[in-house]
């Protein structure tokens, strides 16, 4: 995998309108791992893509009424089969972290890249997802050298008490060991 001008060459591009420019001269220096499933606990519905593109059919599930006014995105989504979709150029600010803080800095969207894994806090992620995540992370660390091993966090780490993802099902040890080997 390679990143060229802020785009991952192996990702499908589905452009989200939910982004804006990073602050001037901001360095991308944090990678945030998330999870999402829509409706909650269901996979492969296509609803995540619709949600990030403001095209969610609110009548398709009662839960969607609760999130219909949200405008959010991530840079990447890694599906259960390992397929990668990119919604926002890495050089732009995706709206994934919300109210957040990392190493005494708030507004993590300003300096981070967000990767969503299709999943839930309590269901194991797939081998294909870990493989894609490790390959993406390696490419991101090469393209954005300020992202180091100690600057990779879960959403729960930057928004404690508010967020729980990627959850206890995410195997941080497996992920970090695979990065070390890579």
d(CA 131, CA 93): 25
Catalytic (active site) residue 65: no
Q: Where are the beta strands (DSSP E) in 123-165?
A: 152-154
- For the chain, the domain total comes to 1
Mean pLDDT to the nearest integer, 162-178: 98
Q: 133: phi > 0 → left, psi -120 to 50 → alpha, else beta; which?
A: alpha
Identify whether 5 is part of a domain: no
Find residue 50's DSSP bridge partners: none
Q: Is residue 102 part of a domain?
A: yes
Q: pLDDT (tens digit, 9 = 90+) per residue, 78-130?
A: 999 999 999 999 999 999 999 999 999 999 999 999 999 999 999 999 999 99
Q: Does some domain include residue 120?
A: yes
Instruction: Tell me the CATH number at 151.
Output: 3.40.80.10
Residue 4 lies in a domain: no
User: In whole angstroms, what is the distance from residue 43 CA to residue 79 CA?
Assistant: 8
By C-alpha distance, which of 91, 106, 93, 116 is closest to 33? Answer: 116
Q: From the candidates 49, 116, 118, 135, give the one annotated as an active-site residue.
A: 116
Give one word for 22, left, alpha or beta, with left for phi > 0 and alpha for psi -120 to 50.
Answer: beta
User: 59: domain range?
Assistant: 12-181
In a domain, 88, yes or no: yes
pLDDT tens-place string over residues 50-80: 999 999 999 999 999 999 999 999 999 999 9
Q: Name the nearest CA neighbour of 112 among 159, 160, 42.
A: 159
């Amino acid at each position: 995998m390679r990143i060229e001008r802020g785009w991952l060459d192996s990702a499908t591009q589905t452009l989200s309108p939910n982004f804006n420019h990073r602050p001037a001269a901001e360095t991308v220096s944090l990678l945030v791992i998330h999870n999402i499933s829509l409706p909650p606990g269901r996979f492969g519905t296509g609803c995540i893509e619709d949600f990030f593109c403001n095209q969610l059919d609110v009548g398709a599930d009662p839960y969607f009424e609760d999130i219909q006014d949200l405008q959010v995105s991530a840079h990447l989504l890694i599906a259960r089969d390992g397929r990668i979709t990119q919604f926002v150029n890495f050089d732009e600010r995706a709206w994934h972290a919300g109210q957040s803080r990392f190493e005494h800095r708030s507004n993590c969207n300003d300096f981070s890249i967000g990767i969503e894994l299709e999943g839930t806090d309590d269901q194991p992620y797939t081998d294909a997802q870990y493989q894609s995540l490790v390959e993406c992370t390696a490419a991101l660390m090469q393209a954005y050298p300020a992202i180091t091993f100690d600057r990779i966090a879960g959403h729960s780490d930057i928004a404690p008490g508010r967020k729980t993802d990627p959850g206890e099902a995410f195997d941080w040890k497996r992920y970090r060991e695979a990065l070390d080997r890579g």
